[in-house]
Amino acid sequence: MRRELTAFAMLAAGFAIAHIATLQASPGIIMKVAMKKIAETANLDANTFRLSPRVTPQSQTVVRPSPDFAYSICIYDLSEGSINLTVAPWPAYSSVSFFDAQTINFATVRAEKGADILLTREYSNVSAGPATERYVSPTNTGVILIRRLAPTEADYDGVASIAAGDSCAATTP
């Protein structure tokens, strides 16, 4: 009986370790695949915003994106230094969300009046320049998503005209 209990305990411990390892590794793997797919689909280089096409049943690549929003995305890489973000103002609802390489949303900012943000890997005395806000990313890479309320074609066209003012650029040392 003791041998069976020992075997069962070892089996249970093995399953627990495998379960925890899967839970720890999955977000990073998911985000790495997502970032690669986003970069390929949008022909997107690191540290550059790209406005996605208007959401329609034909353009939908993500399960259930809202057709009432215009989305701009930037895949960031802080391995060479900080990122300066400029988000153009939009009079309706607008937000900027930051996701690290483990899929964690570590910051979200309302941005109807626009935003100037410095994104760094660690908090330091690096000059924020024109940035009015500063955020520290838990990882070197991740995704920044701008959402702007644009329920009509005319609203989307308005977002398209101002989205050129969005920037996600590495700071100069």
Residue with tokens 């041998």: 3
The pLDDT of residue 87 = 95
Radius of gyration, alpha carbons of the chain: 20
Residues 6 or more apart whose Cβ sits within 8 Å of residue 50: 42, 43, 44, 72, 73, 74
In this prediction, residue 143 carries a pLDDT of: 92
Q: What is the pLDDT of residue 95?
A: 95
Query: How much is the pLDDT for 172?
Result: 62
pLDDT of residue 81: 87
**CA atoms within 13 A of residue 152's CA, in its CB half-sphere:** 4
pLDDT single digits (tens) 93-124: 999 999 998 889 999 999 999 999 999 987 66
Instruction: Kindly list the averaged pLDDT for each block of 10 residues, start to end, along the chain of length 173.
Output: 74 69 66 68 68 65 73 90 92 95 91 92 64 87 94 94 92 66
What's residue 3's pLDDT? 78
pTM over 0.75: no
